[in-house]
Structure 1
Amino acid sequence: MTDAPLAPHPDPAAGSAAPSALADRDGVLAELSAHVSRAWASFEHPRPVEPAPDADLVRRLGRGLPDVGDDLSVALEDAAHVLDSSVSTARPLFLAYVPSSALETGVLASALSSAYDANLATSAGTADLLDRQAVHWLAEFLGYPAAEGHFTSGGQTSNFTGLLAAREHARPGSREHGVTPGSAAVYASEEAHHSVVRAVEAAGLGRRAVRWVPTDDQRRMRPADLEALVRADLEAGVVPVAVVATAGTTLTGTVDPLGEIAAVCERHGVWLHVDGAYGIPAAATASHGHLFAGLARADSVTVDAHKWLGMPKSCSALLVRHHGVLRATFGHEEHYMLHEGDTGNPVDSTFEYSRPLRALRFWLSMRVHGAARFRAWLEGTLEVTRTFVDAVRAHPEFELRHDPMLTTVCFRHLPPTGEGERPLSGGALDRHHVALAQALQHDGRVFLAPAELDGVTVLRACFTNFRTDAASAAGVLDVISEVAASLR
């Protein structure tokens, strides 16, 4: 590490100074490259322990606003230490929530895109062509006939965009006049992600517009119950705005019966939005593609490429089946971004204004690795999941709580009992799982989080990281048993 600053410090007495280039660009890039390379190397295998930040770093993070800049090498070193001692979803045994691989190609694309800072709110030149190609590549990979779409900041924004398009389709002019309270309805299963509720609220429909459709013994939306709810609303003069089917629920990885749901929507002219933020990449696999039959009949689809497709956050996408629906939803005239004839600006088809070239992460990764490699990676995580499920079933200390469709596994740890001891049950067993998850996170070898399933607290593992191999996953139960024993 050099003692000389890599960037000149402005003289406070010199007044306002224009931003200046780094004094040693090649040098700082070499330092940054070394930090990134060390991070990538640390992701190749599970860590035996999560490092804690040193006391000096913690003190520096408590300082106030600096008036004079610091040495760039020192600041970069601190930034790297902060991240290395933080929770990273890219690690192979981060199994909580829905983790990502943070593919190296995606990281490189993020850096390159940030350097150029293209803004897709207006025409960005050749970047527009790459953006459109990435959208069509993604749709082709999933087997969805997208007419248009765009990359967004996350599944919440993608679901909200799809719902706004559905609202304008069901109630033309609603973006101008609003919607009378109680006059519209949105249908989702009891397992749908909460982003659907937030989207309904933000769209001005009100939370009471949500109709919760019961699920079957596989936790899938019941099409017959959906049909009954839609008919009841129509008879009451309520307009069905959209049905939100889920292709991979967050809690259990359940895929709703898309074809049967599409049939209900088609009979009644209702917009079908598929929230596939987590699970829809499995539509591209030979082993699980059949679960997504009917996907091509959806009007809009959400997919988070920063989940099972391995991109760094945030990199979601909203795909739609018909041309023009997005501009009908978002198109507007403004004095600071003029239109040429009937040609709108890109922002006329998006909810977001300033939009970076998120598509570059997916485009570069697909360009370098190819669709076949991605399909193989997806199949690999499905196979790791099957191996893990078999291990849970066979282990006397563990209980499988559902039969997984995709890569999410909910299970319980049943502490062994000594002679004369009663097994934990009820609230005591729930509290055990909360304490166990906290202890596992503190231990650092495996990162799991608790969840609630069927009224009981469980451990939930989600295998969406391409770095997680069968050998790593095989040791997870042993770590859990070891940590659980330390709690007794």
Structure 2
Amino acid sequence: MPDHTDRTSGDWGPETLRAALEAAAEWTVDYRQRVGGLPVFPVVEPGGVRRALGDRPPREPQSFERVLADFDEHIVSGLTHWNHPGFLAYFSSSTRAPSIVAELLIAAVGVNAMLWRTSPAATEVERTAVDWLRQAVGLPASFSGVILDTASTSTFTALLAARERAGTAVRTDGLAGGPSLAVYTSEQSHSSVEKSALAAGLGHRAVRRIEVDDAFRMRPEALEAAIAADLAKGVRPAMVCATVGTTSTASVDPVEALGAVARRHGVWLHVDAAYAGPAAMVPEQRANFRGWETADSIVLNPHKWLGTSLDCSVLLYPEAAPFRASLALTPTYLESEDDETNLMDIGLALGRRFRGLKLWVLFRCVGTDGLAETLRRHIAMAEAAAARLVDGGVFELAAPVSFSTVCFRAAWAGDQATGDRWNREIMARVNAGGRSFLSHTELGRRYVLRLSVGSVHTEERHLDEVLDALHRAADELSPGEPG
């Protein structure tokens, strides 16, 4: 690659930029072809990557060839490869090829979509992409929304709106002297609900963890009782958070029944569908989402199961006014009469990436039928894997299979501590093999393994491989003396 770098400023000329882009493109295509052969989880010591990178910044510009070589040698070797077909831990954030190209375009134009006038097309592309997603998952036309970074931010933004609607006038007077507020969510919900309560100034004690049934779904009668108890104590209910696709088990809260409880008490209903929300694109999965159209806010993450690159979390709502009431603030230097919609009014951030472009490109290049078929295939693979897993009696399901997530453990009739230790060692051995990566959770105080299909690169043969590894590890390890 010719080196036309300005030695004073470090800027690249057109030829150098073109050559660097070509080199990066070649590397990207090669990486996506070979990632399946890399260890999904790196073998590195803490601090090892930092030591390889050096402790001082370079004073002089260096060639991109050298930078790319160091990236490949020192950084890629220290990555957990979320695009690996054997990545079955957590909820996958794999990346479809069109999203990679879209990220390049986003970086190339470098716009800030805080106001309509700071880049009209960026605002209107985002609104279009969000509406396409709204249509694809079957929500009514009354819903609109914005794209934020992660579900944690989306839930926090919803809680701020719910806090304001609860009548505390926090925007004007702050929290001091106001009524105590409560947030209701299930024992299985994501920790972002609690973190949002902390960030919103409500405190950890404001969060009510509502008990679940045998299928790990929030119990509506328990929610009703918790709200009644708080009202009797003078505590004001602020938000109910129902989950469609909980983190541990992908369980589905009965949103319709929970929404009825929330409406009776005038409480904001937020639906966390960050992982499973895209599955509403599959007609046979639509029943899992019954009642979510009555929510005051919904979050779903295209960067999880749709293959859009991080970060892309969509916050949907039937009314924008409550969100603007909690956070909208326009200084004089940003005022304008020609603005149609200022998306900065919804959310804490002023600056906004052109995230809508990659969602728009995804729809254009894959189509809703293609997206739905991928989801349907992942669900089928998870169900088939669960059936094979329990065949023979070595493993048992720890929760009903939901969407593309399987919770299981090696069956052990003896004491729980030994059984937990055995399962922990089985997972450690499978993960150490470098071909597959599983995660764990705790259900009923038992150590449970998780397998979640979500990578756009995962095929049936990769599930065959992890199932073989699990059975092999169970055979090799003695329950009485694991490891």
TM-score, with length taken from structure 2: 0.91
Q: 2:445 aligns with which of 448, 455, 467?
A: 455
Tell me the distance in 2 between the aligned counterparts of 1:223 and 1:194: 20
Tell me the distance in 2 between the aligned counterparts of 1:53 and 1:252: 30
Residue of structure 2 in register with 1:245 after alignment? 242
CA offset at residue 181 of structure 1? 6.7
CA offset at residue 34 of structure 1? 0.6
Q: Between Structure 1 and Structure 2, how many residues are aligned?
A: 472
Structure 1 stretch 152-161 or stretch 172-181: which is displaced more? 172-181
2:28 paired with 1:31: no
Tell me the distance in 1 between the aligned counterparts of 2:40 and 2:259: 48
Q: 1:424 to 1:36 in 2, by over 3 A?
A: farther
Structure 1 stretch 154-163 or stretch 64-73: which is displaced more? 64-73
CA offset at residue 214 of structure 1? 1.2
The question of whether the paired residues in 2 share the 8 Å contact of 1:9 and 1:68 is answered with yes
The question of whether the paired residues in 2 share the 8 Å contact of 1:100 and 1:312 is answered with yes
Q: 1:475 to 1:341 in 2, by over 3 A?
A: closer
The question of whether the paired residues in 1 share the 8 Å contact of 2:10 and 2:61 is answered with no
2:146 paired with 1:153: no
Q: What do residues 206-228 of structure 1 show as CA deviations (whole Å, max 9, x unaligned)?
A: 11111121111111111111112
Tell me the distance in 1 between the aligned counterparts of 2:51 and 2:170: 53
Tell me the distance in 2 between the aligned counterparts of 1:270 and 1:89: 38
CA offset at residue 447 of structure 1? 0.7
SS of aligned partner of 1:138:
helix
2:160 paired with 1:168: no
2:404 paired with 1:407: yes
Instruction: Name the amino acid aligned to 1:130.
Output: V
Tell me the distance in 2 between the aligned counterparts of 1:85 and 1:271: 43
CA offset at residue 306 of structure 1? 0.8
Residue of structure 1 in register with 2:129 after alignment? 134
Q: 2:61 aligns with which of 56, 69, 75?
A: 69
Q: What do residues 121-180 of structure 1 show as CA deviations (whole Å, max 9, x unaligned)?
A: 122121111010011111111222353311111011011011111111122522221234
Structure 1 stretch 339-348 or stretch 283-292: which is displaced more? 339-348
Q: 1:478 to 1:140 in 2, by over 3 A?
A: same
Residue of structure 2 in register with 1:384 after alignment? 381
Q: 2:262 aligns with which of 259, 262, 265?
A: 265
Residue of structure 1 in register with 2:431 after alignment? 441
SS of aligned partner of 1:404:
coil
Q: What do residues 190-211 of structure 1 show as CA deviations (whole Å, max 9, x unaligned)?
A: 1110000000111111111111
Structure 1 stretch 460-469 or stretch 20-29: which is displaced more? 20-29
CA offset at residue 286 of structure 1? 2.0
Tell me the distance in 1 between the aligned counterparts of 2:383 and 2:4: 51
Tell me the distance in 2 between the aligned counterparts of 1:26 and 1:76: 15
SS of aligned partner of 1:351:
coil
Structure 1 stretch 436-445 or stretch 219-228: which is displaced more? 436-445
Q: 1:325 to 1:30 in 2, by over 3 A?
A: same
Residue of structure 2 in register with 1:225 after alignment? 222
**Mapping 1:80-99, distance limit 5 Å:** 80-81=72-73, 82-83=75-76, 85-99=78-92
2:138 paired with 1:143: yes
The question of whether the paired residues in 2 share the 8 Å contact of 1:241 and 1:270 is answered with yes
Tell me the distance in 1 between the aligned counterparts of 2:339 and 2:363: 34
Residue of structure 1 in register with 2:318 after alignment? 321
**Mapping 1:201-350, distance limit 5 Å:** 201-340=198-337, 345-350=342-347
Q: 1:256 to 1:52 in 2, by over 3 A?
A: closer
Q: 1:8 to 1:471 in 2, by over 3 A?
A: same
Instruction: Name the amino acid aligned to 1:391.
Output: R
Q: 1:21 aligns with which of 8, 13, 16?
A: 13
Q: 1:189 to 1:21 in 2, by over 3 A?
A: same
SS of aligned partner of 2:197:
helix
TM-score, with length taken from structure 1: 0.90
Tell me the distance in 1 between the aligned counterparts of 2:227 and 2:199: 22
RMSD, matched Cα: 2.6
CA offset at residue 100 of structure 1? 2.2
Among the aligned pairs, what percent are the same residue?
33
The question of whether the paired residues in 1 share the 8 Å contact of 2:186 and 2:218 is answered with yes
Residue of structure 2 in register with 1:108 after alignment? 101
The question of whether the paired residues in 2 share the 8 Å contact of 1:233 and 1:240 is answered with yes
Q: What do residues 347-395 of structure 1 show as CA deviations (whole Å, max 9, x unaligned)?
A: 1222212110112111101111111111111111110011011011104
Residue of structure 2 in register with 1:466 after alignment? 456
Q: 2:395 aligns with which of 395, 398, 401?
A: 398
Instruction: Name the amino acid aligned to 1:121.
Output: M
Which blocks of at least 5 consecutive residues in structure 2 are unaligned?
none
Instruction: Name the amino acid aligned to 2:428.
Output: Q
Q: 1:325 to 1:49 in 2, by over 3 A?
A: closer
Tell me the distance in 2 between the aligned counterparts of 1:389 and 1:236: 46
Instruction: Name the amino acid aligned to 2:19.
Output: G
Q: 1:455 to 1:231 in 2, by over 3 A?
A: same
Instruction: Name the amino acid aligned to 2:166.
Output: A
CA offset at residue 424 of structure 1? 6.8
Q: 1:341 to 1:100 in 2, by over 3 A?
A: closer
Structure 1 stretch 384-393 or stretch 61-70: which is displaced more? 61-70
The question of whether the paired residues in 1 share the 8 Å contact of 2:40 and 2:80 is answered with no
Instruction: Name the amino acid aligned to 1:78.
Output: D
Residue of structure 2 in register with 1:419 after alignment? none
Tell me the distance in 2 between the aligned counterparts of 1:397 and 1:154: 38
CA offset at residue 319 of structure 1? 0.7
CA offset at residue 436 of structure 1? 3.5
Tell me the distance in 1 between the aligned counterparts of 2:357 and 2:123: 11
Structure 1 stretch 345-354 or stretch 291-300: which is displaced more? 345-354
